[in-house]
Structure 1
Amino acid sequence: MKYIKQIAIIACLILASCEDVIDVTVPTAAPRLVVEASIDWEKGTVGNNQTIKLHTSTPYFDTTTNNIVTGATVKVTNTNSGAEFTFADQNNGTYTTSSFIPVVNDTYTLEIVYNGENYQASETLKSVSDINRITQSLEGGFDDEVLDVTIFWDDPADEENYYLVRVLEVGDMFPFLEEISDEFINGNEIDDFFEKDDDADDPTEEFNPGDTVDISLFGISERYHNYMQLLIEQYDSGGDPFSSVAAEIRGNCINTTTPDNYAFGYFRLTQVVKESYTFQ
């Protein structure tokens, strides 16, 4: 009986010790400008309406700070023609224009003036092929018991091409993303498939008949392809104890006034084709 009492006392002490609160000091950095500048020209549209979003970085655990950026000057210039497009401040962190003119293979420069500092980035607008067809299967993916969706398109011959595929199931918060190079498949029909992992406890996690996915195929630059490749690799390795430590990935936005105060984010220009598919 004495032994049992001792065990009970030790257990109580252990449980009591687990109630101690440990305060962890998390290092923070000064806020940086974050640029979400995706100039996407959907095939079959004029492409004149474009939006750029600006905000500042915040500490990881901060959920209260209003970090939208207003009062900045935002301009995009076609360096081939000299045409300038001013993006108007909407006072909610977005800057818009209704007069943008997209020209395939022309280079554009983004210029942002914020807090007395000048940020610049340059990109070339890349074209994209049409989607030939979209199919579903139980055999094309890794698991022959769950549905997958595959898209097909033609890669132009005798030139380097890079693509970004975005697949988002209607109702989901986050899309599947995949970057593709035609290095070993130049001039051929390319196909790319997506499937969700089988989950016996929750069959809604996988694709099911009646589900609809929105598919976007972007033509992108080599530099943006490399940038997205790093981001996707880091995202996919999250939680993997054997993966390398995540590193800060810089985009193409340079602070020409104070180089050390560089911005996060990326200025991209793409042509995109979009399709929706409903599983049968």
Structure 2
Amino acid sequence: MNSRIKKIINKLRSKATVTIILLSSVIFSCTDVVDVAVPTEASRLVIEASLDWEKGTSGNDQTIKLSLTTPFFDTALDPVVGASVSVENVTNGEVYVFEDQQDGRYTISDFEPIVNNVYNLEIIYNDETYIAQETLIPVPEINRIEQSRIGGSDEEELDLTIYFDDPENETNFYYATFLEGDDLFPLRVVVSDEFTNGNEVSIFYEENEADAEDEILPGDMVDINLYGISELYYDFLHILIEQSDNVGDPFATIPTRLRGNFINLQNPDNYAFGFFRVTEVVNQVYTFVEQEN
């Protein structure tokens, strides 16, 4: 090999070495930590005030939970203590004072639920008063529960339908939850009687397609709750469920900040998150049985 060829080869080797060094620098520079600035704002009050009266019980024991919003990456709740919490039955003037348990829970053991009565919730915290109003809506009994393998997205898997009678000449709204097995969150469904007034209403349930590996099998149990709800709460839940179902959908509309029915009397801009509801609820637990296709 003559000297000229050797020089050319050495130059090529030098260029290759430089290229490798440069590529290595780029690759290793990608391991640098990038700090992402997450927008923050002042904490807001979060109110979990669901006064649910299960059919067949007294409904005397009720709990309201208060907490503050926390930064995005925080996992621990920030419970609120020292607030004043009371509920007034506007229809008969009875006032119920909830006791502070010093952990964010405010409880009472002598609440009296009366269907079609109007209730006002008042919370005083940090010298600001939050109020909300709801009517205790009754709910019909569940007539029957039927399971099948037809009608769903997969005709090889079990599903069920609940049936109940809608009262005539009334405008009614319903909220149903289905919690199966070890699922962390229930399936939520809201229904109005706009097209079924005075008739038997059905609500269908099947396992979420995203949990295909966890199909319903004979012996599995599903906890069913059916609530009678107000139109305002129906609208709130409808938006909440729609936004939850659209998570991860690139074509979905941009979620809006969902506000409940609380009003801050002193500072309306400092509104609270959550919704005050007063409902009657019927609960049933259904066990799936073996069924042929």
TM-score (norm 1): 0.94
Residue of 144, 156, 171 corresponding to 1:133:
144
**1:44 matched residue in structure 2:** 56
**Deviation of 1:273 (Å):** 0.2
Residue from 231, 239, 253 that aligns with 1:222:
231
Equivalent of residue 94 in structure 1, options 87, 105, 125: 105
Instruction: Structure 1: give runs of 5+ residues left out of the alignment.
Output: none
Letter of the 1:249 partner, please give it: L
Q: 1:4 to 1:165 in 2, by over 3 A?
A: farther
Question: Matched residue of 2:79: which SS?
Answer: coil
1:140-185 CA distance string (max 9 Å, x none):
2122122112111111111000000000013211110011101011
1: CA distance, partners of 2:258 / 2:80: 22
Query: In the alignment, residue 173 of structure 1 is paired with which amino acid?
Result: L
Which residue does the alignment assign to 1:169? Answer: 180
AA at the equivalent of 1:24: V
2:275 aligns to what SS in structure 1?
strand
Show the 5 A alignment for 1:24-39: 24-39=36-51
Higher helix fraction: Structure 1 or Structure 2? 2
Which structure 2 residues correspond to residues 66-145 of structure 1 after superposition, within 5 A?
Answer: 66-145=77-156
Partners of 2:273 and 2:214 in 1: how far apart?
32
What is the deviation of 1:8?
4.8
SS in 1 for 2:260: coil
Q: Distance in 2 between matches of 1:75 and 1:126?
A: 20
Following superposition, the deviation at residue 227 of structure 1 comes to 0.2
1:156 aligns with 2:167: yes
For 1:32-83, what per-residue CA distance to the aligned partner results, in whole angstroms no more than 9, with x for missing partners?
100000000001111111110000111111235x510011010000101000
- Mean CA deviation greater in 133-142 or 83-92: 133-142
1:55 aligned residue: 67
Tell whether the 8 Å contact from 1:197 to 1:205 is kept in structure 2 after alignment. no
Structure 2, unaligned stretches of length 5 or more? 1-11
- Read off the aligned partner of 1:257 and give its amino acid letter: Q
| Distance in 1 (alpha carbons) for counterparts of 2:182 and 2:122 | 36
Task: Give the whole-Å Cα distance in 1 for the aligned partners of 2:149 and 2:261.
Answer: 40
Name the counterpart of 2:7: none
User: Are the equivalent residues in 2 in contact too, given 1:106–1:125 (CA < 8 A)?
Assistant: yes
Q: 1:191 aligns with which of 202, 205, 208?
A: 202
Aligned CA RMSD, in angstroms, stands at 1.7
Partners of 2:26 and 2:255 lie apart in 1 by: 35
Alignment-mate amino acid for residue 176 of structure 1: L
Contact 1:70–1:91 (Cα < 8 Å) also in 2: yes
Aligned partners of 2:78 and 2:130: how far apart in 1? 18
Larger Rg: 2
1:15-30 → structure 2 map (5 Å cutoff): 15-30=27-42
Contact 1:146/1:198 (<8 A) preserved: no
The one-letter amino acid of 1:81's match is: N
Distance in 2 (CA, whole Å) between partners of 1:63 and 1:244 is 27
Q: Percent identity?
A: 52
Instruction: Please report the TM-score for the alignment, with normalisation by the length of structure 2.
Output: 0.90
SS in 2 for 1:226: helix
- Residues matched between the structures, number: 277
The runs of at least 4 consecutive aligned structure 1 residues that moved more than 2 Å come to 1-15
State the alpha-carbon separation in 2 of the partners of residues 239 and 9 from structure 1.
40
